[in-house]
Structure 1
Amino acid sequence: MADEIPFPIAELSSMRHYPDKLTYCGNLELLRRPKISIVGTRRPNPYTRAITFELSKKLALSGMIIVSGAAAGVDRIAHEGAGAENTIAVLPCGIDVRYPAGNCELIEAIEQRGLTLSPFEPGFAAREWSFVVRNEIVVALGEFLIVTEADIGSGSMRSVEYAQQMGKQIYVLPHRLRESAATRLLLSEGKAIAIDDIDSFVAHVSQKGRHKAEDTPFLAFCRNHPTYDEVVVKFPGEIFEAELSGLIEVRNGRVYVG
């Protein structure tokens, strides 16, 4: 019988619907650490492969947990770069199904040293729609979303839509012409920020992650951009004072940390 996560995950409050049930294998303490989501194509070019690995490794060394979906390509590279003990894999199938088969050893290592999560019943085989569910959880868990390479109309762009709905910052790698059309479009439209220097980027986000780790439960909850009504229900004593002091602000019915 699969183990269910025994406590609510604050980051998942930014989802349209909190999962009815979440099962896991591994170390739940990883959920309490600062996290970044990394997604991208299943067929990355050599440049993307090298930079994704370097970026994931340096983020993990700085104390961040890397969240991805255990798929082939960018997902796998992100998990491997971080190291199994510094990564969370969200599965599109039951917690006892190691999918895709080509990543079986990687998923087993994450089960033993990191953390795997699934919103599906044990034994459930991945379906087209279950990847969409998986993607929303991956995005919700991370403070930021990094898309290292993607084509227009891809699953990674669905993840971008979720990040936009949740008010999360999106980062991408700079690519050459005719490569990664979707991330280049995001840059041209001002919807993402390019990672031009890995070391500077890692220093920036890891510092934000350390600040987040020191948050009070109220601030940690608000960083996931819950609705105003959700904060009033959960923290009725803190929200009004925080709003008056400028610690938080309310935009379009959602709460943001100032």
Structure 2
Amino acid sequence: MKILAKDKFISKLDRLTNPPKELYYEGDIDLLTMPKVAVVGSRKASVYTKECVARLCASLKNHNVCVVSGGALGVDIAAHKAAMPLTIGVFATGLDTFYPSSNAKFIKEIYDKGLALSEYSPGSPAIGYKFLERNRIVVALSQALVVAQADLKSGSMQSARLAGELGVPVFVLPQRMGESEGTNMLLAKGKAKLINDFDEFSSQFGLCLNKTPAQNDDILEFCKDFVSLEKALAKFGDKIYEYELEGLVEIINLKVKSKI
């Protein structure tokens, strides 16, 4: 691991009253020059939330926007996976430690293909307060904060509070009552805006890089009118879900239709 020159990061974090004295890194530091959106949320995120996060972060990647998160279970790792390689992981341990260990394989992929940052020297263990310190870097690096799912008392809500103090706009996903009391409260009190169109949201921060697909694309041609999801999967397998993440098809009521 290497130490990032202070002039490479301090301007990105100058809105913090307590910026890190140094940052260790592994990976592609050019990601720091890109537009960045932070995506955070519950470690015990619902299947619905993780699916929404995957679609959102795939859209951000497609608009050449880098996704920043904390490498934790649940929302964080779903965000990193969908955005790879345009993703920055900010960690609360030294970069010689993969935490949580269950995410070790994918955290290593962030090191290799994305960018990993930590203000903690090698050998620093995971301690509770460090995760809150980590959160301030995640927020301050970013042009916006998305809180995907959160309990009222959680690190994600602390991140939302910090974002308000720093002037970073906060966004949330639509959630049912009782399943994400923190984000619903932010929305109710006017402290966050709702994301109801992923591509529209992403376009605020970057330009869409998708080229018009070839006219003879078999999947798009097959799905030009609504077809059953079962038939589409039987013919093309998981490519259907990849096309959905890329915004090329939509899946509604177990039917698939081309969007282009």
What is the TM-score normalised by the length of structure 1?
A: 0.78
CA distance in 2 between partners of 1:74 and 1:196 (Å): 18
Deviations 1:18-75 (A, max 9, x none): 1011100011100011111010000111110110000001101110000000000000
Partner-residue secondary structure (3-state), 1:48:
helix
1:52 equivalenced with 2:53 (yes/no): yes
Question: 2 CA distance for matches of 1:186 and 1:174?
Answer: 12
Partner residue in 2 for 1:173: 173
Does structure 1 conserve the Cα–Cα contact (< 8 Å) formed by 2:35 and 2:205? Answer: no
> 2:3 corresponds to which letter in structure 1?
E
1:88 deviates by 0.3
Q: What's the C-alpha RMSD, in Å, of the aligned pairs? A: 1.3
Distance 1:110 1:126 in 2: 19
Give the alignment of 1:238-249 within 5 angstroms: none
Q: Which residue of 1 aligns with 2:200?
A: 200
In the TM superposition, what is the alpha-carbon distance from 1:205 to its structure 2 partner?
2.9
Deviation string 1:70-117 (CA, Å, 9 cap, x unpaired) is 00000000000101x210000000011111101101110111111000
Residue of structure 1 equivalent to 2:113: 113
Aligned to 1:164: 164
**Does 2:65 align with 1:64?**
yes
Task: Provide Cα deviations, 1:121-171, integer angstroms capped at 9, x if missing partner.
Answer: 101111001001111100111100000100001010010111011011000
**Residue identity in the other structure for 2:93:** C
Say which SS state the counterpart of residue 145 (structure 1) adopts.
strand
* 1:150 matched residue in structure 2: 150
| Counterpart for residue 100 of structure 2 | 100
Give, in whole Å, the separation in 1 of the partners of 2:182 and 2:148.
10
Unpaired stretches in structure 1, ≥5 consecutive residues: 208-258
- Between the aligned residues of both structures, percent identity stands at 38
Matched to 2:82, the amino acid is G
Give the structure 2 partner of residue 3 of structure 1. 2
CA deviations 1:161-202 (Å, max 9, x no partner) are 110110110000011111100100011100100001112212
Whole-angstrom distance in 2 between the partners of 1:106 and 1:86: 14
CA distance in 1: counterparts of 2:180 and 2:94, whole angstroms:
31
Number of residues paired by the alignment? Answer: 206
Q: List gaps (5 residues or longer) in structure 2.
A: 208-260
User: How far apart in 2 are the matches of 1:44 and 1:155?
Assistant: 14
Is 2:132 the partner of 1:132? yes
Task: Name the larger-Rg structure.
Answer: 2
